[in-house]
Amino acid sequence: MRCKFLLILLLTACFLLPASALLAADPSALTREIEQLKRNSEALLVEQARLVAELEKVNAQSQSLGTAVKSLDTTRKKLAADIKVTQSKINSTNLNIRSLENNMADKERAIGTHEAAIGLALKALHDYDSRSLILDVLSSDKLSDFWQDRGELAELSTRLNKEVGSLRETKDLLNEEKKKKEQDKERILTLQVELNGQKSVVEESKKAQEKLLVETKNREATYQQMLAENLARQKQFEEDLYRLESELNITLDPTLIPVSRPGVLSWPLDKVFITNYFGTVSGNRRIYASGFHNGVDFRAAMGTPVLAMLSGVVEGHGNTDEQRGCYSYGRWILIKHGNGLSSIYAHLSVSLVQTGQNVKQGDIIGYSGGQKGVFGSGYSTGPHLHVGLFASQGVAIRQFVTSRGCQQVFVPISDVKAYLDPLAYLPSI
C-alpha cells in the first residue's frame, strides 16, 4: 500500500510545480525589443527638448515677418519630433500589451495545471480517507509502514493547502494583468487622438505660412500693418464684449463660488511661464475692470499640449475665425467643473474634445496656437495660451449679436462679476 501511496505523491508532485516554473517562458526577444524602443524614445525626447528650446528662442525675438516664418518652420520641426515621440509611446504600449498577453497565457496555463493537480490530490485524499483505520492497519506489512503512510498523507495535505493558496495568487495576478491590458488599450486610443491632433497642427502651420507669404507679398511693412490692424480689432472686440457683459447684471450667489486657494486647479501646461496677468490690481487682489484682460496668458509654442485644469464636462467649443472679420478667441473650449467654476482655453490650433464629453484633470484637450495667420488664433498676434475662469452661474455660451464683427458667432459671455482670477486657484508659483 505504501508503494501505491508514494506513486500518488509522485504524480501529484509532477503537477504541483512552483508557479515560477510553470510561468517560465522565453521573453528575451520581446524584452530586447522593449529595451531598444526605450533607448530610441530617450533619444527622441532629447531632440524634442532641443527643438522646444530653439522655438522658444525664436518666439522671444521681436515680431517681424522673418521671425514669423522662422517660427512656423521651427514649429513644424518640433511637431515632427512630437509625432515621433507619440508614435514611440504607441509602439511601446503595444509591446507592453504583447508582454501582458504572454504573461496572461502563462498564468492561464498555470491555473489549469494547478486545478488539475488539486483535483488529483483531493481524489487521493478522498480515496485514502474512505478506507477504515482498522483496514489500513491490518493491510500494512509492518506497523511502521502504516505510520509512515499517515505522515506522508499529512505532508500531502499541507502541500495541497499551499497550492490552493498559490492558485488564488495566480488568479489575482491574472486579473491585475487583464486590468493593465485594458488600461493600455485605452491609453493607445488616447495617444492616437493626440497623434491625429499633432498632425492637424502641422497642416495648420503649413497653411498659415503659405497664407502669410501671400498676404504680405513677403514685405515686412505689410506684415507690421497686419499686426497693427489685428491689435486694433482685438481692442474693439474687448470693448464690445465688456460693454455687453457690463449690462447683464446677473445676481451671483457667493456660496456657490469656491473660496480661492492655491491648488484648486492644476496648471494647463507642463511648463509654465506667465506673459500677461488677469485684470487690474485692486487692494490685495486682481479684478476684471474696464475690459482689461479677462484671463491669464501663458507662453506656449504652437502645438503645445493644453491640459484640463480640473475634471468636468465640456460645455462647448468653437472657432470664431469661422466668421471672416471676427477677431475674438479663435478656437476655444469651455469646461464646466463640478465645484461652481468654469474654465476657458483660447487661441488653440487644434481642439480634441466634443461638447458633453467628460474630461479628467490633466487630460490633453487640445493644442496651443496663437500664431498670426493660423486658423483658430483669433486676435492673437503670437504663440500663447489664453486661460480664463468664471463662476459657472454667471457664464453661458451665447450668440454675440451686439458685436461689430462677430454677430454670427457663439462664445462664452459672462457677467463681469463672474470673471475670476485663475491664478487665485492655480498652484502657488
- In degrees and rounded to multiples of 5, residue 309 shows phi and psi of -75, -15
Task: State pLDDT tens for residues 168-188.
Answer: 887 888 888 888 889 888 889
Domains for the chain: give ranges and CATH numbers.
2-192 (no CATH), 240-424 (2.70.70.10)
- In degrees and rounded to multiples of 5, residue 400 shows phi and psi of -90, 70
Task: Compute CA 382 distance to the chain's CA centroid, rounded to the nearest angstrom.
Answer: 26
pLDDT beyond 70 at 244: yes
415: DSSP letter: -
Confidence at residue 156, expressed as pLDDT on a 0 to 100 scale: 66
Q: What percent of the chain has pLDDT over 70?
A: 85
pLDDT beyond 80 at 166: no
Confidence at residue 22, expressed as pLDDT on a 0 to 100 scale: 42
Quote the pTM value.
0.74
For 50, the enclosing helix (H) or strand (E) is: helix 28-59
pLDDT beyond 80 at 31: no
Task: State pLDDT tens for residues 77-87.
Answer: 888 888 998 99
Confidence of residue 151 (pLDDT cuts 50, 70, 90): low
Confidence of residue 355 (pLDDT cuts 50, 70, 90): very high
Cell of 151: 505522515
pLDDT beyond 50 at 341: yes
pLDDT beyond 80 at 259: yes
Task: State pLDDT tens for residues 54-106.
Answer: 877 877 777 788 888 888 888 888 888 889 989 998 988 888 888 888 888 88
Average pLDDT over residues 267-272: 95
Higher pLDDT, 220 or 296: 296
245 with 416: CB under 8 angstroms?
Answer: yes
Task: State pLDDT tens for residues 113-127.
Answer: 777 777 777 776 666
- DSSP code string of 234-255: HHHHHHHHHHHHHTT-PPP-GG
pLDDT beyond 60 at 406: yes
Beta strand 364-368 with 348-351: parallel, antiparallel or unpaired? antiparallel
Mean of pLDDT over the chain:
82
Best-predicted range by mean pLDDT among 7-11, 104-108, 124-128, 138-142? 104-108
Confidence at residue 74, expressed as pLDDT on a 0 to 100 scale: 86
